[in-house]
Amino acid sequence: MIRTTFYRKVFELNGHPVIANGLRRFAQSKVSKPFIASFAKLYKLNMDEATRGLRDYGTLHDIFTRELKPGARPVADSPDAFVSPCDGYLSVVDDLTPESTFMVKGQDYTVEELLGSKEKAAPYAGGQVLIFYLSPTDYHRVHVPIDAKVEEVYTLGKHADPVNELGLKHGLRPLTRNYRLVSRFDVAGSPLAHVMVGALNVNSIVRTNEADTVHRGDSYGYFSFGSTVVICVPKGKFSFTREKGPVRMGEEIGKWHS
């Protein structure tokens, strides 16, 4: 009960810098190993699909960034399939304005804020934004949604506010203030922005794939403590083919139009 209460409180308060930094150090240390079983039980982790058994993980960080067995997340294989890059909850914003404005939980955001400049945002005017929220329960490795060339990778932001109901509703603006890893892909001559947004601490995003060419379903990086993935697509290049809601990495969520 003590361990369960501890972790529930930690994740409720995950925007607090002292909690964030302390949790990161603790989770990456061997001292955290006795808490693994309670963490897995609290968040109902499906360990049957993991590559290692529960006792084989040395730290909480290890189990949070666990890898899955081959085939645990089948990747859609139709030629024009656009797949979910992660496990999480998907919401979609259609028909961006010419200024590329979108709204989340009553707050207006712009792609310019998200990507860092008007120039970088311009290709997405009138396009779409796909937002994937990850919870502690989810598999926290992030993958590539479609075959592409990696044109540019950069980081923005310094904050570590919670990307949850508190942060989204009360003016913290985490999607465009938090530390984030922005990757600009080229998909058959069209741009695609792939953004990993951190939440619990500014060093929680790790890019694991340094290749110049990536393929649908390839592993790309992970969140040490989780957050959000945002994808921006140009107008007319993507059509949504499923319902909003819970998704798994590799599921087809739409079609890409070359």
Q: What is the mean pLDDT of the chain?
A: 84
Residues 6+ apart with CB under 8 A from 109: 101, 102, 103, 173, 175, 176
Q: What is the DSSP letter of 240?
A: E
pTM of the model: 0.85
- Are 49 and 176 contained in the same domain? no
Q: How far apart, in whole angstroms, are the C-alpha atoms of residue 176 and residue 156?
A: 9
Selected catalytic residue, list 61, 143, 159, 194: 143
Out of 121-125, 163-167, 249-253, the most confident range is: 249-253
Active site residue: 84, 183, 224, 227, which one? 227
User: What is residue 246's three-state secondary structure?
Assistant: strand
Same domain for 39 and 92: no
What's the token pair of residue 221? 């990086």
Q: By C-alpha distance, which of 114, 77, 76, 98 is closest to 229?
A: 114
**Does 211 have pLDDT greater than 90?**
yes
Which of 92-106, 140-154, 205-219 shows the lowest per-residue confidence on average (mean pLDDT)?
92-106
Q: pLDDT at position 96, please?
A: 82
pLDDT in tens, 182-199: 999 999 999 999 999 887
Shared domain check, 236 and 192: yes
- Is pLDDT of 10 > 90? no
Q: How many of the other CB atoms lie within 10 Å of CB of 178?
A: 27
| Residues 56 and 93 both lie in one domain | no
- Same domain for 89 and 156, yes or no, is yes
Whether residue 75 lies inside any domain: the answer is no
Domain that includes residue 107, residue range: 81-256
Instruction: Say whether 227 is catalytic.
Output: yes
Let me know if residue 73 belongs to a domain: no
Give me the DSSP letters along 108-156: EEEHHHHHSSHHHHGGGTT-EEEEEE--TTS--EEE-SS-EEEEEEEEE
Q: Does residue 143 carry a catalytic annotation?
A: yes
The single residue of 32, 84, 87, 224 carrying the catalytic annotation is 87
Percent of all residues in the chain with a pLDDT value above 90, rounded to a whole number: 58
Last residue of a domain, one of 64, 89, 113: 64
